Amino acid sequence: MLSELSDWFWQERLWFPEGLGWADLEDRDGRVYAKARDLWVALPIALVFLIIRQIFERTVATPLASLLGVKETVRLRAPHNPTLESFYCSVTKNPTQSSVWSLCKQTGCSERQVQRWFRRRRNQDRPSLLKKFREASWRFTFYLLAFIAGLAALIDKPWLYELKEMWQGFPVLTLLPSQYWYYMIELGFYGSLLFSVASDVKRKDFKEQMVHHVATILLISFSWCVNYIRAGTLIMLVHDSSDYFLESKVETEEGGAQKRQMSFRGFSKLAQF
């Protein structure tokens, strides 16, 4: 069944105009074309990114945070209470008024003490400002370098200035080494973000973030398979040109529902280069 599904999915009439087929994308005479099997290269690249990220956060982001005055948040820890801890972990982190009264009877604590315990316990689970800074600085650095590298790879290409050139000769478009590595590095980076999402700061838009990462990986992979290489590199360049600006600010929550924004002054200076 899988074989039949694969044959149907890759049939030439779905992917090529009349008169062309997969045979026309076979490497010959020094010309190289994009192939679906090339996408497997992104997996080891994603693992390499995870390693580089750990090194970067410890050796670059943490000293930079100290230089900019970003410090680890010191929060009061909730006193040990097995009953409240069990309720917090298994029921809810925000008990209702009736639940608070019930917990008061079980623990012998006052209503105010129970509410204070839950407030402190929630604060313990909130990621520190330093952790947010390290994550944002890593993404900022990648997007900035990816934009510079992408611009360097496309600056001399005619389709950067004339969109008609983007489809000249499609779908039989020769793959350039710069395009290959631009694609694989971008795909590997988003793969690493998907792998690390469980350990990263869980934001309010966590579900939307997951959908974004998966959709990005699928779109990059699809454009590679159908040889939309020129269009794909232009789109990635446009996104990278704005993503590092978005990462130059981080929204933090401190003290209940109060929100504030902290600008990364050092990042803003880097963006000027």
Tens digit of each residue's pLDDT (9 = 90 or more) over 95-116: 888 888 888 888 888 888 888 8
Residue 211 pLDDT exceeds 70: yes
According to DSSP, residue 163 is labeled G
**188 backbone dihedrals φ, ψ, rounded to 5°:** -65, -40
Residue 271 pLDDT exceeds 60: no
Between the CA of residue 28 and those of 10, 16, 113, 148, 183, what are the distances in Å?
Answer: 21, 19, 76, 32, 22
Q: Per-residue confidence at 191, pLDDT binned at 50, 70, 90?
A: very high
Give bridge partners of residue 113 from the DSSP assignment.
none
Rounded to whole angstroms, how far apart are CA atoms 100 and 87?
Answer: 10
pLDDT at res. 42: 93
Residue 192 pLDDT exceeds 60: yes
pLDDT at res. 46: 95
- Using only the alpha carbons of the chain, give its radius of gyration: 25
CB 115 within 8 A of CB 100: yes
113/55: higher pLDDT = 55
Tens digit of each residue's pLDDT (9 = 90 or more) over 119-136: 888 877 777 778 888 888
pLDDT at res. 217: 93
Q: What percent of the chain has pLDDT over 90?
A: 29
pLDDT at res. 255: 32
Q: Per-residue confidence at 249, pLDDT binned at 50, 70, 90?
A: low
CA-nearest of 85, 82, 79, 87 to 113 is 79
Residue 272 pLDDT exceeds 50: no
- Chain mean pLDDT for the chain: 81
Residue 171 pLDDT exceeds 60: yes
Residue 50 pLDDT exceeds 70: yes
Residue 184 pLDDT exceeds 70: yes
Pairing of strands 259-263, 249-253: antiparallel
Tens digit of each residue's pLDDT (9 = 90 or more) over 12-25: 777 777 777 777 77
Q: Per-residue confidence at 44, pLDDT binned at 50, 70, 90?
A: very high
CA-nearest of 160, 169, 141, 174 to 236 is 160
